[in-house]
Amino acid sequence: MTEVAETEIEAESGRAALGRALKFLREQSGLSLGQLAEKTRYDKSYLSRLESGKRLSKPAVMEDLDSFYTTGGLLIELWKVARREVFKDKYKEFMRLEFIARIMHKYAIGIPGLLQTEDVARVLLSGDQETEIEAESVEEQVIARLGRQQLLYRNPAPTVRIIMDEYGLRRQVGDAQVWEAQLEHLLEIAELPKVALQVLPFSAGAHHLMNGSLTLLWQEDGTGIAYMEGNQCSELLEDPTDITRARLSYDRARDLALPPSKSIAFIRGVLKEFRGS
């Protein structure tokens, strides 16, 4: 096999591989797209987009096709690989949009990446046990996370509002010195002219964003996106209806949160308590 051919195989995406498998199975069954559509009751154009790798189906569709072709779960496994790649692609797109956003609203249960010190980022990104290769990967991730934080200082800087759950202030990360520096860093960030930092206290009770984090971004032309993370998965929302729903959830959390001035006083109180402990 030539070097070029090997590179092409390695570069094939999971979605393309899944599409190729679907086309192969259909042709091996002697079916046209129209005939497959009749037998499975899925739209012909939809099946065509699946085979071309332009569309990723819902899991139920793969289960149906896996049963139709009797592939013993192969299509479902290929779908899982393609799905993971889509998440990675969406995160890359989110990172790109985050860096050029004019307005940014965030909610996080813990300390959001944009506000983490280097030491805290390293602790959170490190596993309990690491090989040398894994340790190098952690350092690369730390550098990338710190690089993201530069958007807070660019000119012109975006208008940023961050709501932090009180949980993130009470759950110590690292040793005492590392955590004290992190709390001090939050106070420094809160003083930036275009940053509004709010604390959502435990006393606010239950709210719509308890199960993960949410970021809302708006670009110069007014277009917006929402990015949600939770339960080891993430989702980039671009549909206006989904964005509106996410914004309403954020607004409800903001209404429950302490205003910026009281939030700063709250963080100072937590820092004072920590130093006295």
Domain boundaries, the chain: 3-85, 101-276
User: CATH for 3-85?
Assistant: 1.10.260.40
pLDDT of 71 above 70: yes
Length of the chain: 277
The CA-atom distances, in angstroms, between 170 and each of 164, 180, 199, 243, 269 are 11, 12, 12, 30, 11
Provide mean pLDDT across the span 164-192: 96
Q: Which fold has domain 101-276?
A: Endonuclease; Chain A (3.30.870)
* Cα–Cα distance measured from residue 81 to residue 112, given in angstroms and rounded to the nearest whole number: 28
Check: CB of residue 262 under 8 Å from CB of residue 181: no
Residue 161, pLDDT above cutoff 80:
yes
Lowest mean pLDDT among 3-12, 163-172, 180-189, 249-258: 3-12
Cis omega before residue 156 (within 30°)? yes
**pLDDT per residue as tens digits for the range 212-242:** 899 999 999 999 999 998 766 778 898 899 9
154-157-161 Cα angle (round to 5): 130
191-218 mean pLDDT? 93
Rounded CA separation 49/64 (Å): 17
Q: What is the pLDDT of residues 2-38, one digit of tens each?
A: 333 333 334 467 888 899 999 999 999 999 999 999 9
Verdict on whether the full-model pTM lies above 0.85 = no
> Residue 118 in contact with residue 147, Cβ under 8 Å?
no
Same fold, 3-85 and 101-276: no
